[in-house]
Amino acid sequence: MKIVNLTKEYEGNYFVCLEDWSDEIREAGNHKEHWYRKMKDKGLCVKLAVNDEEKPVGMIQYLPIEYSFVEGSELYFILCIWVHGYKNKGVGNYQKQGIGKALIMAAEEDVKKRNVKGLVAWGVPLPVFMKASWFKKQGYVQVDKEGFFGRVLLWKPFSDDAIPPKWIEAKKDPELYHNRVTVTGFINGWCPAYNMVFERAKRASLELGDQVVFHEINTFNKEVFDEWGISDSLFINGKKVNTGPPPSYKKIKKKIAKKLKNSHSSSS
């Protein structure tokens, strides 16, 4: 196994987070590719772990924190780190072999050369993807948290004068349309898993007819993100939908249809 920088040869794998075998992830559309094309000259870094057959089995992507969904300066932010873990799909299960540690160490070495003051990551308290406990084992310290059970923000400062990052709180609620169900999708483009949710919600909204409004808010534009304080989220009639793990198209459509039925009942 070796760590390499992303090259054109591996872009297709990267755009689907190494799940090129998955038909489901193709529902995410090409948002990731468009995001990458705009970000690659703004400091975005992508490193891959490749096996002896030159196939990518792990990845890490990080960028200047100013382009992320948290508040900070002179820092780099890890959007995600992922090691392929499907036993009977694609390249197979490569987790628990030290690949994640190798990826984050390569990122730290790279970031130090860029003369920034630290590396930041986000994690969840549950034993799933982006585990906060794993980052703590790599020397990262928690500095902020979203709610009681929410995501945590962690960092590893490289300088004594580094300023800790903070979560950016939502600044306003999505607009609701009178007498219609309002589905609001905030999308940045960096994450295929969320992009898939966005596309499913958009398709379901259109299929349910004129009584459902789909409102798209593209947060790649920093001014738009600063206005809302929301990066990638789905709301139905102003209520946030849990998007991790990504709910199926059927489940999203059912949620919207239920709101539509309730609105008809209340107006009759």
pLDDT digits (tens, 9 = 90+) for 24-53: 999 999 999 999 999 999 999 999 999 999
Is the pLDDT at 150 greater than 90? The verdict is: no
* CA 106 from centroid of its chain's CA atoms: 21
The tokens describing 23, both together, are 């038909």
Q: For residue range 127-138, what is the model confidence (pLDDT) as tens digits?
A: 778 999 999 999
The tokens describing 224, both together, are 């738009």
Alpha-carbon span 126 to 149, nearest angstrom? 9
Structure confidence at residue 264 (pLDDT): 67
Fold match between domain 2-167 and domain 181-267: no
User: What's the predicted TM-score (pTM) here?
Assistant: 0.94
The partner residues of 153 in beta bridges, in order of sequence, read 122, 144
Handedness of CA 21, 22, 26, 32 (dihedral sign): negative
Structure confidence at residue 178 (pLDDT): 84
Structure confidence at residue 246 (pLDDT): 94
* Sheet with 233-236, edge to edge strand ranges: 212-218, 181-187, 233-236, 239-240
- Compute the average pLDDT of residues 84-91: 94
Alpha-carbon span 103 to 158, nearest angstrom? 18
Question: What number of H helices and E strands is found in the chain?
Answer: 7, 13
Alpha-carbon span 120 to 140, nearest angstrom? 8
Domain ranges of the chain: 2-167, 181-267
Q: 69-73, 87-91, 176-180, 246-250: which has the minimum mean pLDDT?
A: 176-180
Q: By C-alpha distance, which of 68, 40, 42 is closest to 225?
A: 68
Instruction: Please tell me the CATH code under which domain 2-167 is placed.
Output: 3.40.630.30
Q: For residue range 174-184, what is the model confidence (pLDDT) as tens digits?
A: 999 888 999 99
User: Could you tell me which residues come within 8 angstroms of residue 83 by beta carbon, excluding any fewer than 6 positions away?
Assistant: 49, 57, 58, 94, 95, 97, 99, 100, 103
Q: By C-alpha distance, which of 182, 158, 192 is closest to 31?
A: 192
- Compute the average pLDDT of residues 143-157: 91
* Sheet with 141-145, edge to edge strand ranges: 2-5, 45-50, 56-64, 76-83, 118-123, 152-157, 141-145
Structure confidence at residue 214 (pLDDT): 97
Is the pLDDT at 140 greater than 80? The verdict is: yes
Q: Are 153 and 166 in contact (CB under 8 A)?
A: yes
26: left (phi over 0), alpha (psi -120 to 50) or beta: alpha
Mean pLDDT for all residues in the chain: 95
Burial class of 229 by CB neighbour count within 10 A (0 to 12, 13 to 18, 19+): middle
Q: By C-alpha distance, which of 232, 230, 257 is closest to 173?
A: 230
User: Could you tell me which residues come within 8 angstroms of residue 198 by beta carbon, excluding any fewer than 6 positions away?
Assistant: 31, 185, 187, 216, 232, 234
181-267: CATH topology is Glutaredoxin (3.40.30)
